[in-house]
Homo-oligomer: A and B are copies of this chain.
């Protein structure tokens, strides 16, 4: 049964947790841990051990009964499942403070993600070259550049008011996945994957928690 995927509706959260497992396993591999049981891994991730086993079971049987999981092997299986055995090409729209920070962020490259193109509308920025090497294109050229470079994931780091427009450009250019940092609910057609990175929402959660915890 090994490595046979049972596509019986995998919960969305399972994928998120796989990503977390892979992180913990990377740390373990670095500490030279060879084998780990679901209980220990669970503790490290703050997740129930049965949950881990169930999540993995959607994709195959990766453990050894009575023993646990080989750290390196499990890590590479998870990375394969997530599609991290290739480099994903990303394009960024919005070269503000946040956009710059994202392009400069070395975590992406280490993880198999790469910014191959960047865009803005500001004429003062267009044509300039970033420290990381990319030339800033005008958003009007997005369609052309995205197709030329084979961009697969669009990243939006514009102000909220410009985000939907940026999304439209990506949609038109055939990009099928968007990572959205703007605090707005994007309207996209069926089949388009959108993930929101939304610190305002997270902060509101904390504010609520603190307000409730008051005496």
Is A3 located at the chain interface by the 8 A CB criterion? Answer: no
Q: Which of B18, B112, B207, B213 contacts A82 (CB 8 A)?
A: B207
For this complex, 18 residue pairs linking A to B, each with C-beta atoms less than 8 Å apart, are A12-B205, A23-B185, A27-B184, A82-B207, A83-B208, A84-B204, A97-B100, A97-B101, A108-B200, A108-B203, A153-B203, A176-B209, A179-B203, A193-B206, A193-B210, A195-B206, A196-B202, A197-B199
A15-45 CB mask vs B (1 if < 8 Å, else 0) is: 1101110111001000000000000000011
Chain B residue contacts of A100, Cβ below 8 A: 97, 101
What is the chain B residue whose CB lies nearest that of A193? B209
Is A107 located at the chain interface by the 8 A CB criterion? Answer: yes
Q: Which of B105, B185, B210 contacts A177 (CB 8 A)?
A: B210
Give the CA-CA distance A179 to B200 in the complex, in Å.
10
Is A113 located at the chain interface by the 8 A CB criterion? Answer: yes
Q: Given A82-B208, A88-B203, A197-B197, are A104 and B97 neighbors across the interface (CB < 8 Å)?
A: yes
User: What's the minimum C-beta distance from A181 to chain B, rounded to whole angstroms?
Assistant: 8
Chain B residue contacts of A211, Cβ below 8 A: 82-83
Chain B residue contacts of A81, Cβ below 8 A: 208
Q: Is the CB of A199 within 8 A of B179?
A: yes
Chain B residue contacts of A176, Cβ below 8 A: 209-210, 213
Is A183 located at the chain interface by the 8 A CB criterion? Answer: yes
Q: Given A44-B185, A97-B101, are A82 and B152 neighbors across the interface (CB < 8 Å)?
A: no
Q: Is the CB of A204 within 8 A of B15?
A: yes
Q: Is the CB of A200 within 8 A of B45?
A: no
Is A48 located at the chain interface by the 8 A CB criterion? Answer: no
What is the chain B residue whose CB lies nearest that of A196? B202
Give the CA-CA distance A207 to B179 in the complex, in Å.
11
